[in-house]
Amino acid sequence: MTLPTPKPGVLAINAYVPGESELPGGVKPIKLSSNETPLGPSPKARAAYIAAAEGMERYPDGAATALRNAIGKAYGLDPGRIVCGAGSDELLNLICHVYVGPGDEAIYTEHGFLVYKIAILAAGGTPVVAPEKDLHTDVDAILARVTPKTKVVFVANPNNPTGTYIPMSEVRRLRAGLPEHVVLVLDGAYAEYVRRNDYEAGIEMVATTPNTVMARTFSKIYGLAALRLGWCYGPQPIIDALNRIRGPFNVNSAAIAAGVAAVEDVEHSQKALAHNDKWLAWCVEEVSKLGLKVTPTVGNFLLMHFADGSAKTAAGADAFLKTRGVILRRVTGYGFPNALRMTVGTEEENRVTLKALADYMGKA
Residue 25 pLDDT > 80: no
pLDDT greater at residue 6 or residue 119: 119
Fold of 43-265: Aspartate Aminotransferase; domain 2 (3.40.640)
**Can you give the residue ranges of every domain in the chain?**
10-40+267-361, 43-265
pLDDT reading at 337 higher than 90: yes
Span 116-171, pLDDT tens digits: 999 999 999 999 999 999 999 999 999 999 999 999 999 999 999 999 999 999 99
Question: DSSP code of 136?
Answer: B
Give the residue, 24 or 115, on which the prediction is more confident: 115
Q: 10 Å Cβ neighbour count for 161?
A: 27
**What does DSSP assign to residue 311?**
S
HEC assignment per residue over 214-261: EEEECCCCCCCHHHCCEEEECCHHHHHHHHHHCCCCCCCHHHHHHHHH
Do the Cβ atoms of 176 and 192 come closer than 8 Å? Answer: no
Domains 10-40+267-361 and 43-265 are alike in CATH topology: no
- In the predicted structure, residue 231 carries a pLDDT above the cut 80: yes
Strands 230-233 and 212-217, bridge-based pairing: antiparallel
DSSP 209: -
How would you classify residue 39: left for phi > 0, otherwise alpha for psi between -120 and 50, otherwise beta? alpha
Mean predicted lDDT score pLDDT of the chain: 96
Amino acid at 47: A
Instruction: Give the span between the Cα atoms of 197 and 168, in whole angstroms.
Output: 10
Nearest to 189 by CA among 76, 45, 41, 37: 37
Q: What is the mean pLDDT of residues 188-197?
A: 97
Q: How do strand 105-109 and strand 150-156 relate by DSSP bridges?
A: parallel
CA dist., res. 64 & res. 80, Å (int): 11
- Express as a percent the part of the chain with pLDDT over 70: 100
Helix (H, G, I), strand (E, B) or coil at 202: coil
Instruction: List the single range of 7-16, 41-50, 168-177, 292-301 with lowest mean pLDDT.
Output: 7-16
Question: What does pTM read for this prediction?
Answer: 0.94
Tell me whether the omega of the peptide bond preceding residue 158 falls within 30 degrees of 0, making it cis: yes
C-alpha 92/C-alpha 171 separation (Å) is: 19
Dist CA 353 CA 359 (whole Å): 10
Strands 82-85 and 329-331 turn out to be unpaired
Question: What is the CATH architecture assignment of 10-40+267-361?
Answer: Alpha-Beta Complex (3.90)
- Number of Cβ within 10 Å of residue 170's Cβ equals 18
Gap between the Cα atoms of 59 and 57, Å rounded: 7
